[in-house]
Structure 1
Amino acid sequence: MPAPPDLRITEIFLSLQGETSRTGLPTVFVRLAGCPLRCRWCDTTYSFQGGETVSLDEVVGRVAAFGVPVVCVTGGEPLAQRNCLPLITRLCDAGYSVSLETSGALDVSAVDPRVSRIVDVKPPESGEAGRNRWANIAHLGSHDEIKFVLANRADYEWACEVLRERMLDRVCPVLFSPVQGELTPARLAEWILADRLPVRMQVQLHKLLWGGAPGR
């Protein structure tokens, strides 16, 4: 008889969603351990290694204990663990509104279609632009979102070119976000307005509320 599925979990916690169109919603975050990328400005490097081995049933039980209907599965890179897929399906089956935050480097096509996939596009300053899996775009729909995190004007212009050439705003909502401490939100907002971009400007609400921590 096969062993029950398990996952390596860095943390499960309740906070306000700090990004995407769900900003401000009370959300249970399930942070899976491990990531094959090393983005220069990553703020969750503590999730790269270690983690607690937890059964899928226990993860779902811990989520239920918070009594909140919105769940975000994140990392690290959650899709690097094969049991991420059954986890998010179980959460959807249990009636949760589920989002998945992924680096965009791994295949999203097998993700449960009920999930809102938040897919990063890595710009040059991240150091991981070569890992973008462009084939993912074909699998996205209007309930998904594409996110660019930008460090400077060069990143911004690169993102604008990708936006136009791939017509990303016709695929799903597109988010532009500044790297904290490198690009001011006001400057990015000015560029977006000047160019009349069809994107949503966002800042990380959790960092405004609680400082540098990725969660609470």
Structure 2
Amino acid sequence: MAVADSVLLTEIFFSLQGESSRVGLPTVFVRLTGCPLRCGYCDSAYAFYGGEHKTYDEVLQEVAKHGAKYVCVTGGEPLAQKNCLPLLTRLCDEGYSVSLETSGAMSIAEVDPRVSRIMDLKTPGSGEEAKNLLDNLPLLTTKDELKFVLTSEADYEWAKGMLSSHQLDSKCPVLFSPIWEGLKPDQLADWIVRDKLSVRMQVQLHKILWGEKPGV
């Protein structure tokens, strides 16, 4: 049974950050359970169900065991749990450099301002474009990052249009990422260079190192 000061947790693990501008940094990942989206390329579907309720104190104790500076709260969709917000604040209060990986389908308005919000905009190829909460876009700051996971050239063109129409690269760093074993990274790189986009291309370092599996 859940208690007031707890979250439903899938796993906590220590690894290298595989994405965002923090790529390569030793990081503790706190993966919360549950997600209202069903993206076609999802690599964490095992976090949709199950999990175990852990108090904030229990989460903090487990995080502290790893002795890391960086903590990433992810999912699933962590903001689907209202108790994610106070957990983020507790982590910041403990002095960690905290990032949040969120789908862009939930409001980021109440996230502690000390947290770096790594937010997706879901492309048509994800199957979940309609879930994008565009009201989040004006809330992004230079310490946040906006990520497009691309499945095809059509997704790339859509993302390029969003970049231009919303002037996204003036709000925060923008990341373009090819889906794993789908869109070829060199193809995406060629398009970005050809079009001289002001974006950062990223590949998923953790999958290059260890493959697609939980806990890395």
Q: Which TM-score bucket, shorter chain as reference?
A: over 0.9
1:204 — aligned with what?
A: 204
The 1-side partners of 2:17 and 2:174 are apart by 17
Q: Tell me the secondary structure at the aligned position of residue 190 of structure 2.
A: helix
Query: Residue 206 of structure 1 contacts residue 214 of structure 1 at CA under 8 Å; is this kept in 2?
Result: no
1:136-180 deviation digits (Å, cap 9, x = unpaired): 011110000000000000000000000000000000000000011
The 1-side partners of 2:105 and 2:71 are apart by 22
Identity %: 62
2:20 — aligned with what?
A: 20
Q: Tell me the secondary structure at the aligned position of residue 183 of structure 2.
A: coil
1:118 — aligned with what?
A: 118
The 1-side partners of 2:43 and 2:110 are apart by 27
Aligned length: 214
- Paired amino acid for 1:195: D
The 1-side partners of 2:213 and 2:183 are apart by 18
**How far apart are 1:212 and its partner, in Å?**
1.3
Q: Tell me the secondary structure at the aligned position of residue 191 of structure 2.
A: helix
**How far apart are 1:215 and its partner, in Å?**
3.9
- Paired amino acid for 2:24: G
1:187 — aligned with what?
A: 187
The 2-side partners of 1:189 and 1:14 are apart by 30
Q: Please, which runs of 5 or more residues in structure 1 have no aligned partner?
A: none
Q: Tell me the secondary structure at the aligned position of residue 13 of structure 2.
A: strand
1:177 — aligned with what?
A: 177
1:137 — aligned with what?
A: 137
In the superposition, the TM-score normalised over structure 1's length comes to 0.98
Q: Tell me the secondary structure at the aligned position of residue 172 of structure 2.
A: coil
The 2-side partners of 1:148 and 1:4 are apart by 34
In the superposition, the TM-score normalised over structure 2's length comes to 0.98
Q: Tell me the secondary structure at the aligned position of residue 158 of structure 1.
A: helix
The 1-side partners of 2:109 and 2:24 are apart by 28
2:53 — aligned with what?
A: 53
Query: Residue 16 of structure 1 contacts residue 26 of structure 1 at CA under 8 Å; is this kept in 2?
Result: yes
1:159 — aligned with what?
A: 159
**How far apart are 1:182 and its partner, in Å?**
1.4
**How far apart are 1:4 and its partner, in Å?**
4.2
The 2-side partners of 1:120 and 1:5 are apart by 27
